[in-house]
Amino acid sequence: MRCKSDGQLQRGKRSEWTNGNMPPTKEALMTKLATQHSEFLREYAELRRVAAVMETRATCADARLRELSVRLEERVEDASDERTGRIQELTQQNERMHAELAAIRIELVDRSRVIADQSCRITELEAELDRVKRSEEGLKAQRQHDQQQIKALRSSIRALERELISSTTNRR
């Protein structure tokens, strides 16, 4: 199995390996998959933590923005010449908070997409790991069967050797 340039997995027979080599061993593949799985889990946990932090920041910024909006509306109603400068300052602060909140939301959406992509990749890796485990179990069963056949063949060879020895001694 190898990855195409578009990231999709390609499945094939041994003769389809592009580098001309035999495919990696099941143990090597399982080790690689387990390592990738661990890395993806760590990345997934980090992305979840960052998403939680970003959500908290967005919530705080939203609450602060509402508070500032209310304060601004109250001040506008009671505006006087000496408060005009403060109203402008609050308006600018309000606009900055809006911009920051929008940026936080965009980043949160981007992080959520990354988390979703990582979740899909983890699911794919888990499925691949399950396939490898099933394949390994099949190989173990085949090996046991082969060992039983080898024992049976050895017994047959010994019986034939005894028969040959006995027929050779009988001819004499």
Q: What is the pLDDT of residues 81-140, one digit of tens each?
A: 566 777 788 899 989 999 998 998 999 899 899 889 999 988 998 998 899 999 999 999
How high is the pLDDT of residue 124? 92
Of residues 35 and 168, which shows the higher confidence score? 35
Across the chain, how many H-helices and E-strands are there?
A: 2, 2
Q: Which backbone phi and psi does 2 adopt, to 5 degrees?
A: -145, 165
